[in-house]
Amino acid sequence: MTLVKSSSGIRGTLGGKVGNSLTLIDIIQFSAGYVSWMKRKYKNKKKFLIILGRDGRISSVLFQQFLIITFQSLGIDVINIGLSTTPTIGISVMNEKADGGVMLTASHNPKNWNGLKIFNSYGEFLSEKDFEKLFSLSKKKYFSFSSYKKLGNIFYKENYIQKHIEKILSLPIIDKNIIQKAKLKIVVDGINSTGGIAVPILLKYLGVHVIKMYCEPHGDFVHNPEPIKKNLREICKKVPNIKADLGISVDPDVDRVVFICENGDFFGEEYTLVSIADYVLENQLGPVVSTLSSSHALKDLSIKKGVPHYFSPVGETHVVQKMKEIHAVIGGEGNGGIIYPDFRYGRDALIGIALFLTQIAKLDNISLSKLKKRYSNYFMSKKKIRFSSHEKVKMLLKTITKKYKGKETDLNDGIKIYLKHNEWIHIRKSNTENIIRIHTESVSKKRADFLSKNIIHEIKKIMIN
């Protein structure tokens, strides 16, 4: 049983004891802590409004009803927008001038997980500092519930995904007409969640011929929902078999997007950000941001374009903080998370898709396999190791840091060790699972795998001792 609390919110496996997994009691405590935080943050307000949405998970229907009751009992008004995406919640918070929002999702985690992603009044995730306050408040044993005269109201609003899409299509950088003229044929894997609703709606607005895979949002995920190569074998076969131009896959809450080439090759989750940054920088030069675990292909692109590149710790809140600090024009994570600040400070697969399709349409409908050749050709190995003790992780990082004292390192998020040119190792504790993530990158797959294998061997030796 697992329960993880971080700046990404709260998520855990279902069933088990309170405090060790995601139970109804944990949801009450966390949501009540959120309300307490909100009332302290916005002291002068007498009435508060929260937007609530959910992904397609089976358990999200139950938890949604439970959250409505909890918030109403705490005197909070709720607008329930039903099946939604995480970025759609951010948009609806801004549109409704709400005080916050909650998305019921465990993002890329398997179907036996669920969780809550939390927003502030700007439609953004809470800062790490605000999350720490929220977590502290959620530990209180007693919360002040409202009398029957002050119970919160519940409102229902539909079609927010469509409003989100219409807002994307109103952006000057998105060329709807040129995409329509390209007459693209695209396969969509919606992983039986809300991507199966949102992505086809967006593509139909853009005049795309859509072939759906797993687009019924019943939450019984057919494959592991994380959009990475090993989980997307079926769509990789289908795209060339039906002679589609490309494939699109998203995670269950639609804040990450990856693409499949016309020949069935995986375009690569790292290259989602690289290619979209390329298009954005053609229109507006400025700084770019990616995480310490992301490919250096984006850094190479920034050098080529003559703009500054910055690294941030992993996690949306950290990327957004850095982007605001240096006024970035584009940023995100190497997992397929795109943040376009002229739209909203938050990862959004739908804006990523619209930017990407405009790019390829403007390049005379270039194939994805040819587009990828424009960028640095790096190979990454992404591994993970489960851990049982946070103290052991601290000890591990301390030992690794000592061992590589002579190398150039970055200690802002675990430890990143720079080896020779364009070769590095990054070891860090995950924000979303009880695992250590090990990312390596080099100019060959063989070398990246070798680095990964060696460092994992070292880690296991340290953890055993």
Question: Are both 321 and 181 inside the same structural domain?
Answer: yes
Question: Are both 347 and 386 inside the same structural domain?
Answer: no
- Which of 137, 162, 187 delimits the end of a domain? 162
Q: What is the pLDDT of residue 432?
A: 76
Q: What is the pLDDT of residue 293?
A: 97
Q: Is residue 267 in some structural domain?
A: yes
Q: Is residue 169 in some structural domain?
A: no
Q: Point out the residues of the chain with pLDDT beneath 50.
A: none
Q: Is residue 282 in some structural domain?
A: yes
- What CA–CA distance (Å, rounded) separates 255 from 202? 14
- What CA–CA distance (Å, rounded) separates 294 from 316? 13
- Which of 343, 372, 401 delimits the end of a domain? 372
Question: Are both 224 and 343 inside the same structural domain?
Answer: yes
pTM, whole model, 2 decimals?
0.95
Provide the greatest CA pair distance for the chain: 67
Domain that holds residue 70: 3-162
Question: Are both 21 and 68 inside the same structural domain?
Answer: yes
Q: What is the pLDDT of residue 209?
A: 98
Question: Are both 329 and 184 inside the same structural domain?
Answer: yes
Q: What is the pLDDT of residue 465?
A: 66
Q: What is the pLDDT of residue 365?
A: 84
Return the HEC string of the chain: CCEEEECCEEEEEECCCECCEECHHHHHHHHHHHHHHHHHHCCCCCCCEEEEEECCCHHHHHHHHHHHHHHHHCCCEEEEEEECCHHHHHHHHHHHCCCEEEEECCCCCCCCEEEEEEECCCCCECCHHHHHHHHHHHCCCCCCCCCHHHCCCEEECCCHHHHHHHHHHCCCCCCHHHHHHHCCEEEEECCCCCHHHHHHHHHHHCCCEEEEECCCCCCCCCCCCCCCHHHCHHHHHHHHHCCCCEEEEECCCCCCEEEECCCCCECCHHHHHHHHHHHHHHHCCCCEEEECCCCCHHHHHHHHHCCCEEEECCCHHHHHHHHHHHCCCEEEECCCEEECCCCCCCCCHHHHHHHHHHHHHHCCCCCHHHHHCCCCCCEEEEEEEECCCHHHHHHHHHHHHHHCCCCEEECCCCEEEECCCCCEEEEEECCCCCEEEEEEEECCHHHHHHHHHHHHHHHHHHHHC
Q: What is the pLDDT of residue 258?
A: 98
Nearest CA to 199 among 93, 89, 211?
211
- What CA–CA distance (Å, rounded) separates 461 from 392? 12
- Which of 162, 192, 219 delimits the end of a domain? 162
Q: Environment class of residue 230 by beta-carbon count within 10 Å: exposed (0-12), middle (13-18) or buried (19+)?
A: exposed
Question: Are both 456 and 356 inside the same structural domain?
Answer: no
Q: Is residue 218 in some structural domain?
A: yes
Q: Is residue 294 in some structural domain?
A: yes
Question: Are both 292 and 384 inside the same structural domain?
Answer: no
- What CA–CA distance (Å, rounded) separates 421 from 11? 38
**pLDDT tens-digit profile of 412-446?**
999 999 998 789 999 998 877 778 999 999 999 99
Q: Is residue 171 in some structural domain?
A: no
- How many separate domains does the chain show? 3
Q: What CATH number is given to the structural domain containing 45?
A: 3.40.120.10
Q: Environment class of residue 326 by beta-carbon count within 10 Å: exposed (0-12), middle (13-18) or buried (19+)?
A: middle
Q: Is residue 455 in some structural domain?
A: yes
Per-position b or e across 120-159, b if 16+ CB within 10 A of its CB: bbebbbbeeebbebbbebbeeeebeeeeeeebbeeeeeee
Question: Are both 156 and 203 inside the same structural domain?
Answer: no
Q: What is the pLDDT of residue 1?
A: 62
Question: Are both 225 and 122 inside the same structural domain?
Answer: no
Question: Are both 405 and 319 inside the same structural domain?
Answer: no
Q: Is residue 206 in some structural domain?
A: yes
Question: Are both 236 and 385 inside the same structural domain?
Answer: no
CA distances, 15 to each of 3, 54, 59, 126, 203 (Å)? 11, 19, 11, 27, 38
Question: Are both 44 and 153 inside the same structural domain?
Answer: yes
